[in-house]
Amino acid sequence: AQTVTQSQPEMSVQEAETVTLSCTYDTSESDYYLFWYKQPPSRQMILVIRQEAYKQQNATENRFSVNFQKAAKSFSLKISDSQLGDAAMYFCAYYNQGGKLIFGQGTELSVKP
């Protein structure tokens, strides 16, 4: 079974600065997807960015980018030019070949003005 680990329960960043959230996973599959989801206090889970395992190029979405290291089974999220609206819980998630989405424990990001 796959597992996802987020070792940073809380992170803090100054507005306009850059922050990196860490995620590692364990799997024996060769083909899968990885995601970062954002969950604000409203609880609505929002997809931030996704990465296909077969793609070597790191995914980017505006201010959000990932550092995908397949051999190391590492998938970190970098948020550039942090904004107050970025404050939320961030979950790393693994999508396996059986169609199951497996979440990490989450990292609570606070943004200081």
What residues line the site for another protein (CB under 8 A)? Answer: 4, 9, 33, 42-47, 50, 52, 91, 93, 95, 98-101, 103-106
Q: For tokens 């590492």, name the residue.
A: 74
On whether the CB atoms of residues 103 and 91 are closer than 8 A, the answer is yes
Which whole-number Å values give the CA distances from 18 to 23, 92, 97, in the listed order? 17, 18, 33
Smallest distance, another protein to C-beta of residue 6, A: 8
12 vs 14, beta carbon nearer another protein: 12
Q: Which two tokens stand for residue 108?
A: 């609570």
Q: Which C-beta is closer to another protein: that of 98 or that of 113?
A: 98
Residue whose CB is less far from another protein, 48 or 79: 48
